[in-house]
């Protein structure tokens, strides 16, 4: 699919330069475009900032007819349309909040092929008869050139953003079987992908899966102390002065406090959160897009669709509970950026407390991707450390952990299993009567971090599976018994092979 000999290649390259101002394509963009332009259904898994929008906006421009884009948020839609209209690309959207005359005018424009792209929310597809009528008409005239499902993981109940109306989008393939579908997402495990492909009816789709490694990001973790605001100030001054950044805070009040403090230190900064007056929010958006503000302090919960598209974000600092996904917002322009995480005890303890393994490796495990830590090239705090490795056989520990998962009914989180294994007598352990299990405390000699790393390794190897759908991420046994047998055989034979990952002596 990387060929430059397709009939549309010349026009594609010209429009990429002239309309979008890009000098070249990013990884997989050309391939995805060629596959969808050839009439295939395509599923694209590309990290945030990878450039997914271009993979349908360029085809929309060089294809006859209309491209329908299903997008979950009106704020994202408005942002896309603003960008497209700046590039003189005719795009519009239909939303339930529009007055009827306005909707009719847009529908007329769509019928007369005035627009190249139409954005809608999934709810609109489910509810609007006039939209269904329009799509039927366009399709029968051969003018429905492509259907794009943005944030396609919302289709799956296993994904973290399930939307019931996304589930019904399979009706599009049923009604318009000849129109190619392009499903895009930045977050899909193998299971979510299968679910999406099935629900959308994309039986023979071509799949593009891109590594989630972000080589232009460096990862630094620091414990949250009373001095962390000073530390942020210093960090910005030394590494990213006058560059753009987001600082994620846990609460709205924190956002305001952090913003105020950094303002006092001479940074141009504003807070941005859900309970702000809409007028203030628009003002901040405008200031941000005009580079009048460098730093935004925001809550993790609040969507920032309008902000993240407009300029590069260079620092992601997380005050309080670290949310790894948020790091994806940094360095979307491909330039070197930093992700600075201030952590305190939280669900992500094993990530934060792990002061040995490559941060990239730990993050990519989360996305089900294997990663050779030597490729990190010392761009995370752990790889920057000089460590001496000691090898130990951990077969028995691994076996006991798996047994414990079975004994406890495969319905508890990995941190609970680790607590039981290390002999905790916490209220929760007692309540479940797990202090009475024969393996309770069997791992009391193990350091917490080492026990967590062995558990993590069992997950990476596919022996244990974490149910990411559940908030407390239940851990259970892989159904593949053969894999289990092979794994222990492998451990037995290569006693020391796996252990280089474990037990550091500092
Ligand atoms: P995604 O939807 O995958 O998160 P976007 O489509 O929003 O990513 O693209 C992220 C940024 O990358 C945007 O600012 C976009 O203009 C830019 N971009 C996309 N493709 C290219 C390219 N080929 N060359 C340069 N910049 C690009």
Q: Is the CB of 52 under 6 A from ligand 1?
A: yes
Q: Is the CB of 51 under 6 A from ligand 1?
A: yes
Structure tokens at 352: 């934060």
Q: Which atom of ligand 1 is least distant from the CA of 46?
A: 3
User: Does an H or E element contain 249, and which?
Assistant: strand 245-249
How many other C-beta atoms lie within 10 A of the C-beta of residue 462? Answer: 13
Name the one residue in this structure whose structure tokens are 């596919």. 462
Classify 45 as helix, strand or coil: strand
How many other C-beta atoms lie within 10 A of the C-beta of residue 355? Answer: 13
**26 CA to centre of ligand 1 in angstroms:** 8
Strand partners of residue 188: none
Q: Please report the beta strands in 96-200, taking only residues with DSSP state E, as ranges in sequence order.
A: 117-120, 144-149, 181-185
How far is residue 459's CA from residue 237's CA, in Å, rounded to a whole number?
A: 39
Residues 6 or more apart whose Cβ sits within 8 Å of residue 271? 252, 255, 256, 258, 259, 284, 296, 297, 298
**496 CA to centre of ligand 1 in angstroms:** 44
How far is residue 64's CA from residue 116's CA, in Å, rounded to a whole number?
A: 8
Residue 207: the pLDDT is 94
Q: Is the CB of 46 under 6 A from ligand 1?
A: yes
The rounded average pLDDT for each run of 10 residues, N- to C-terminus, in the chain (506 residues) is: 94 94 92 97 88 96 95 85 91 86 91 92 84 92 95 76 80 94 84 86 91 82 82 89 82 89 93 85 82 84 49 50 58 78 62 76 71 86 81 88 92 90 94 95 89 80 67 62 58 42 41
Q: Which atom of ligand 1 is least distant from the CA of 29?
A: 23
Q: Is the CB of 53 under 6 A from ligand 1?
A: yes
**49 CA to centre of ligand 1 in angstroms:** 6
Structure tokens at 150: 């943005």
Q: How far is CA 495 from CA 56, 166, 419, 485, in A?
A: 50, 48, 26, 15
Residue 494: the pLDDT is 42
Tell me what percent of the chain is helix, strand and coil, each rounded to the nearest 5.
45, 15, 40
Residue 137: the pLDDT is 92
**331 CA to centre of ligand 1 in angstroms:** 11
Structure tokens at 339: 């992700």
How many other C-beta atoms lie within 10 A of the C-beta of residue 261? Answer: 16
Q: Is the CB of 49 under 6 A from ligand 1?
A: yes
Q: How far is CA 263 from CA 157, 248, 259, 271, 273, in A?
A: 42, 16, 6, 11, 17
| Under 8 Å between Cβ of 148 and 70 | yes
Residue 348: the pLDDT is 52
As a residue count, the chain comes to 506
In this structure, the residue with its CA closest to atom 25 of ligand 1 is: 22
How far is residue 246's CA from residue 317's CA, in Å, rounded to a whole number?
A: 7
Q: Is the CB of 22 under 6 A from ligand 1?
A: yes
Q: Is the CB of 399 under 6 A from ligand 1?
A: no
Q: Which of 97, 89, 21 is nearest to 56 (CA)?
A: 89
| Under 8 Å between Cβ of 256 and 317 | no
User: Does an H or E element contain 222, and which?
Assistant: strand 217-223
**333 CA to centre of ligand 1 in angstroms:** 7
How far is residue 227's CA from residue 224's CA, in Å, rounded to a whole number?
A: 8
**20 CA to centre of ligand 1 in angstroms:** 10
Q: Is the CB of 328 under 6 A from ligand 1?
A: no
* pTM assigned to the model: 0.64
**22 CA to centre of ligand 1 in angstroms:** 9
Q: Is the CB of 57 under 6 A from ligand 1?
A: no
Residue 321: the pLDDT is 40
Q: Is the CB of 69 under 6 A from ligand 1?
A: no
């Amino acid at each position: 699919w990387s060929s430059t000999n397709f009939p549309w290649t010349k026009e594609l390259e010209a429009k990429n330069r002239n309309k979008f101002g890009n000098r070249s394509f990013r990884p997989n963009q050309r391939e995805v475009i060629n596959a969808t332009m050839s009439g295939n259904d395509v599923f694209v898994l590309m990290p945030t900032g990878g450039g997914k929008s271009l993979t349908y906006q360029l085809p929309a421009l060089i294809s006859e007819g209309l491209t329908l884009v299903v997008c979950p948020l009106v704020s994202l839609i408005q942002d896309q349309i603003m960008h497209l209209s700046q590039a003189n690309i005719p795009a519009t959207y239909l939303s339930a909040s529009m007055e009827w005359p306005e909707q009719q005018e847009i529908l007329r424009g769509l019928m007369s092929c005035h627009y190249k792209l139409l954005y809608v929310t999934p709810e609109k597809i489910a509810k609007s008869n006039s939209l269904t009528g329009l799509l039927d008409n366009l399709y029968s005239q051969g003018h429905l050139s492509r259907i794009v499902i943005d944030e396609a993981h919302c289709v799956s109940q296993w994904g973290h953003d399930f939307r019931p109306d996304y589930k019904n989008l399979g009706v599009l393939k049923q009604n318009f079987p000849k129109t190619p579908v392009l499903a895009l997402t930045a977050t899909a495990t193998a299971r979510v992908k299968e679910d999406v492909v099935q629900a959308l009816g994309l039986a023979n789709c071509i799949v593009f899966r891109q590594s989630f490694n972000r080589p232009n990001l460096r990862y630094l973790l620091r414990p949250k102390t009373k001095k962390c605001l000073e530390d942020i100030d210093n960090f910005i001054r030394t590494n990213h002065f006058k560059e753009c950044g987001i600082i994620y805070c846990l609460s709205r009040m924190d956002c305001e406090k952090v913003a105020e403090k950094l303002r006092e230190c001479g940074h141009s900064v504003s807070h941005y959160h859900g309970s702000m007056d809409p007028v203030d929010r628009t003002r901040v958006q405008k200031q941000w897009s005009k580079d009048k503000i460098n730093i935004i302090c925001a809550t993790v919960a609040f969507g920032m669709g309008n902000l993240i598209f407009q300029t590069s974000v260079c620092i992601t600092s997380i005050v309080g509970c670290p949310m790894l996904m948020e790091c994806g917002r940094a360095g979307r322009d491909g330039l070197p950026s930093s992700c600075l995480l201030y952590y305190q005890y939280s669900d992500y303890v094993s990530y934060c407390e792990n002061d040995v393994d490559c941060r990239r490796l730990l993050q990519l495990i989360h996305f089900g991707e294997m990663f050779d830590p030597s490729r990190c090239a010392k761009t995370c705090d752990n790889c920057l450390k000089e460590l001496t490795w000691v090898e130990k056989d951990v077969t028995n520990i691994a076996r006991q952990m798996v047994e414990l998962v079975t004994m406890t009914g495969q319905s508890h989180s990995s941190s609970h299993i680790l607590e039981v294994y290390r002999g905790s007598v916490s209220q929760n352990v007692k309540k479940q009567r797990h202090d009475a299990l024969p393996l309770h405390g069997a791992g009391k000699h193990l350091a917490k971090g080492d026990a967590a790393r062995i558990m993590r390794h069992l997950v990476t190897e596919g022996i244990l599976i974490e149910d990411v759908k559940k908030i407390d991420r239940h851990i259970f046994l892989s159904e593949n018994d053969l894999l289990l047998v092979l794994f222990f055989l492998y451990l037995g034979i290569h006693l020391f092979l796996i252990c280089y990952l474990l037990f550091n002596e500092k």
